[in-house]
Amino acid sequence: MLFSGNFDKNGKEVFNQHNANVVNITPGERLLVFDVKDGWKPFAEFLDHEVPAGDFPRVNDAQEWHERSRKRKGQALTRVMLKSALMAGAVGIVAFILRRSGRGLL
């Protein structure tokens, strides 16, 4: 099971193990261990290209990712609550109809 069933607890360890495995099996000349904080230079050198003009784009930082993640979790919780309320309402309506008809639930 991916992340041993618990991303919050095991995600970082699984990620680091995967990266270590990639480093171990990939020939050095074919591998770039890249940190976006280093900008264009190591990336361009690895690809044997000129360093592009302009700053390296920084549009997916950790804070932005966490904010999007919290928003998605909130949206998912809202959907679950709405579906649960709809299901409870449907069960209530069926129980009411059965009770009025004299059949009851049991």
* DSSP annotation string for the chain: -GGGG-HHHHHHHHHHHHHHHHHHHS-GGG-----GGG-HHHHHHHTT-PPPSSPPP----HHHHHHHHHHHHHHHHHHHHHHHHHHHHHHHHHHHHHHHTT----
pTM: 0.46
Q: pLDDT (tens digit, 9 = 90+) per residue, 21-62?
A: 999 999 999 999 998 889 999 999 999 999 999 988 877 778
